[in-house]
Amino acid sequence: MQRQARGICMGQELTDRECALLSQQGDHAAYSVLVRRYQDRIYRFILRMVCSRDEALELAQDVLIKAFQAMSGWRPEAEFRTWLFRIASNTATDALRRRKVVEFVALDEDYDVPGEGAGPEAQLAAKQQLIALQAALDRLPPDHREILLLREVEDMSYNEIGTTLGITEGTVKSRLARARAAVIDHYRRKNA
């Protein structure tokens, strides 16, 4: 693999795997590409877990530094994204343990209700649904909430979630099913 990350500037898009391999060989530009691809997603994931913008920003930076320092430990057979989110998950969990508090950021921080084109009734209904959904999510234990975030927000497969969290695919499926059922049950009771 002789392509350098600067090849991106010439219109060649490198994969995560290619960038990770190049960064293992000391190509800092390749790691910069990975940082640009994942910094916002890592920040949002951590923000939803720690509920503090300043702390999430600091932890996201820590994750990217830890990943850079640990690049020699990344193996090409592993997907870079799951490896990076595992570092993020561990970092956020450690921060929560230090605080001994588990809080999450509300959904309405990132999700918009219908825009100006929608009538006031539609906007109000959407906002109420979002509030009810947030209340249902707030009731979940952290491990179920984390799995829902990885699946529904980060769009990871069961296998990727299992790799990220260090659990089996069967455990992912069962936790996800329980988490979804709990959210749906609470949401229905609130809206009945």
What pLDDT, on a 0 to 100 scale, did the predictor assign at position 1?
43
CATH of 1-101, one of 3.90.480.20, 1.10.1740.10, 3.30.70.20, 3.40.50.720: 1.10.1740.10
CATH of domain 118-192: 1.10.10.10
Q: Tokens 């209700």 — which residue?
A: 113
Contact 151, 161 (CB under 8 A): yes
Average the pLDDT over each of 61-65, 79-83, 93-97, 110-114 and give the range with the smallest value: 110-114
From 147, 158, 156, 154, select the one nearest 180 (Cα to Cα).
147
Name the segment(s) of the chain with CATH classification 1.10.10.10. Answer: 118-192
Q: What is the mean pLDDT of residues 109-117?
A: 52
What pLDDT, on a 0 to 100 scale, did the predictor assign at position 62?
96
pLDDT in tens, 176-191: 999 888 888 877 776 6
Name the segment(s) of the chain with CATH classification 1.10.1740.10. Answer: 1-101
d(CA 10, CA 27): 17
d(CA 92, CA 106): 17
d(CA 116, CA 38): 31
From 50, 37, 34, select the one nearest 146 (Cα to Cα).
50
Most confident by average pLDDT, 7-11, 72-76, 150-154: 72-76
Token pair of 165 as six digits:
């969290």
> In 25-52, which ranges are continuous DSSP H helix?
28-50
φ and ψ at residue 26, rounded to 5 degrees: 95, 10
Phi and psi based region of residue 112 (left: phi greater than 0; alpha: psi -120 to 50; beta: remaining): beta
Q: Decide: pTM greater than 0.75.
A: no
What one-character DSSP code corresponds to residue 118?
A: S
Q: What is the mean pLDDT of residues 113-121?
A: 62
d(CA 32, CA 2): 18
Residue 153 scores a pLDDT above 60 = yes
Q: What is the mean pLDDT of residues 23-30?
A: 94
Residue 134 vs residues 129, 148, 152: alpha-carbon distances, Å:
8, 12, 14
Q: What is the mean pLDDT of residues 1-14?
A: 54
